[in-house]
Structure 1
Amino acid sequence: MDITCYRGMPKFIGAFIDALYQNPSLLFASMAGISALAGFCWHKANKKTE
């Protein structure tokens, strides 16, 4: 995959996306981390309303 297809983004974001495509385990780990963080924030927000 060529980084030039990410013309609208800074180079480090294109390089990061390229690294994720080349390492599926890294992609899975980052998605799991984002999901866990979102779940934690959602749980914290719902707990506050009680």
Structure 2
Amino acid sequence: MDISCYRGTPKIIGALIDALYQNPTLLFAAVAGAAALAGLWWYKTANKTE
């Protein structure tokens, strides 16, 4: 996959997308990390004590 096909995005973002696309394990880890961060943020906002 050519990095230049990501029009309108910075080169580093295209390189990151390319690296994740070529490494499914890394992609899974990135998605799992993003889901964990979103879950932690949701947990903290849902359990604010007033």
Please report the TM-score for the alignment, with normalisation by the length of structure 1: 0.94
* Structure 1 consecutive aligned stretches of length 4 or more whose deviation exceeds 2 Å: none
Aligned to 1:2: 2
SS at match of 2:47: helix
Q: How many residues in Structure 1 have an aligned counterpart in Structure 2? A: 50
In structure 1, what is the equivalent of residue 26 of structure 2?
Answer: 26
Mapping 1:26-45, distance limit 5 Å: 26-45=26-45
Aligned-residue sequence identity (percent) comes to: 70
- Give the TM-score taking structure 2 as reference length: 0.94
Per-residue deviation, 1:31: 0.2
Which protein is richer in helix relative to its size? 1
